[in-house]
Structure 1
Amino acid sequence: MKTLQKTILALAITFTTTYSFAQTAYEKAMLPKVQMIEMPKANPDDYTAQANDFARIGDKEKTLWQPYYYAALSIIKKGRELMQKNQVAQLDDVAKEAQNYIDKAEALSPNNAEIFLLKKMNHGLKMMVNPMERWQTEGQAAQQALAKAKELDPENPRISILEAEDLYYTPEQFGGSKSKGIELFKKALEQFKTYKIKSSVDPNWGQGEANYFISQAK
């Protein structure tokens, strides 16, 4: 009996060690890059390099959605920086590149709220090429993606972040409100206190942005 127990224990330790090693190898590749995802880059091309790093991990792992998610997010962040510099002519190409990664992530993890939030942001980039002309198409598609994310994961703080951005940046005559945006950033921070991610490499960004906007309002 003792021999059997020792054998089972040895097998359990071997399995746990092997699993932990495999998980750690993936996390070692991912975690440093994930932790840098909110850091501003020196120039837009740095976001492309970051996306390529994540994509290489995704191509190696083949079954995990997170690398392609972060590749898409990196390209979207590149687009947002170009938008701030008023280089909107490039946004269609940027959004097309991001969509390629979004599609790969969604194929591995359908009905994932985080991926619908990527879609929301990506439609927003395309809308900004010509807001007046594209609101009825890209603007509506962005809101539909946001609504789907809320249906799938209503307490996700990144939903509140994106809603806050919309209110903050939209002129008051079109329904925007900086003060209401700030309230949603505060809501997001409260949600972060209780929101649980499923793994150490799942999306957890947004607190830095919320804190920044709240500090600007003080």
Structure 2
Amino acid sequence: MKNLLAIFIFVFMIASYAFTQPSAYQKAMGRALGALGQAETTEDLQKAGNQFQRISTQMPNEWLPYYYQSLALTRMSFEEKERGDELADEAQRILDLAKPLVTEAKDKAEVKTLQGMIYTAKLVVDPMSRGQLYSAMSGKAYQEALQLDPTNPRARLMSIRSKMGAAQFFKQDLFPFIQQAKVLLDEWDNFTPTSKLHPNWGKKIAQSVAKADIKSEKSSKRTAKLAKSLENSSAQTTPPDSLLGFSIEATITGLRSNDGVILISLQNNQKEIVKRKKATIQNKQAVVQFDGLQPGTYALKYIHDENNDGKLNFGFMHIPSEGYGYANNARGSMGPPAFEKTTFPLQSNLKMTLSTMYH
């Protein structure tokens, strides 16, 4: 009996020790991530990518090794212009192996962000002929990533860089994008990766974007305008909305008359009302603009207050007798749509067209 008890205790101790030790997979991933993080040359990136490739052959059902190998190849594509297409295509092939293995929205956002980077790598090979196609594709990928996880800092960062690159190409103002990068940096550490192995890169890139040297004439004028506004406005403690933050312009269509007004409210992702506005109606349409908004997730809803009583009126069986609508033109089956269906990410100035519902 004593021998059996001793054996049981020994087995239990061994099992407990094994449970608390990092697995071979975790150790290998840790080493490969260290190599990727320290990579400064394409040779370094290739070596790191090879480590992830070896891990994926042993653990083919894990998406992270494929993801990081694809990331290494994408970074190489930006560095080696002559092999840019070849490396980007290989990055795409590897990322496609990861996609079926990803189930969580938070992880899908990471994959979508990397997808956008691959499209950008393809664009960089030949900007003149590929700019229109691949800029749209990368922008869509970043937007989809933000819809999956609006808090993802890499999706926000790559979206900012993409728009900043387009602005540089067309010699436009860079100031708004630098300001966005600064806001992102302030919020960067609010994002918590699922594990130590999950993506957590990008902060240094955001720092470099936030410190970008603004030399364009437009940027200088805008900076001077902002400084003057802050200096001269004694009664105003914050700059005007038009100088800080993003704007949302909502065009409300499908109104059945010019009677009354539009009452519209903007909410944050906690369902708190951020701003309310009243808009007049002309030609059975109304245009409402919200300014001075910080990046984030918002929701929007409105009513056509035809009798100017400040509320949505109801008729028989509590069916609305006035018009109403939501962002994304969301619809509910037996009542208002779920709040999530009315939300949208805001990472730049946004225009939307909303269609009014009547019963």
Higher-Rg structure is 2
Considering the TM-score relative to the shorter chain, is it more than 0.5?
A: yes
Shift of 1:215: 3.7
Is residue 144 from structure 1 mapped to residue 140 from structure 2 by the alignment?
yes
Note the residue ranges of structure 2 that are not aligned, 5 or more in a row.
1-8, 215-359
- What is the match of residue 170 of structure 1? 166
Please list, as runs of the form range in 1=range in 2, the aligned pairs for 1:28-43 lying within 5 A after superposition: 28-42=27-41
Q: Secondary structure at the match of 1:191?
A: helix
Please list, as runs of the form range in 1=range in 2, the aligned pairs for 1:123-138 lying within 5 A after superposition: 123-138=119-134
Deviations 1:89-142 (A, max 9, x none): 421101111012101111211561111111100011112222232234322221
* Percent identity over paired residues: 26
Deviations 1:36-92 (A, max 9, x none): 4343423x233222111111111111221111111000011111122xxxx3x4211
- What is the match of residue 64 of structure 2? 66
Match for 1:116 among 109, 112, 118? 112
- What is the match of residue 203 of structure 1? 199
Higher relative contact order by CA 8 Å / sep ≥ 6: 1 or 2? 1
- What is the match of residue 74 of structure 2? 76
Shift of 1:156: 0.4
Is residue 101 from structure 1 mapped to residue 94 from structure 2 by the alignment?
yes
Higher relative strand content: 2
Residue type at the aligned position of 1:30: M
Higher relative helix content: 1
Aligned pair count reads 204
Whether the 8 Å contact between 1:38 and 1:208 is mirrored in structure 2 is: no
Whether the 8 Å contact between 2:36 and 2:45 is mirrored in structure 1 is: no
Give TM-score scaled by structure 2 length: 0.51
Shift of 1:176: 4.8
Is residue 48 from structure 1 mapped to residue 40 from structure 2 by the alignment?
no
Shift of 1:13: 7.1
For the aligned residue pairs, the C-alpha RMSD in angstroms reads: 2.7
Q: Secondary structure at the match of 1:128?
A: helix
Shift of 1:172: 5.1
Distance change >3 Å, CA 134–CA 212, structure 1 → 2: closer
Distance (whole Å) between structure 2 residues aligned to residue 144 and residue 15 of structure 1: 48
Distance change >3 Å, CA 176–CA 118, structure 1 → 2: farther
Shift of 1:15: 5.9
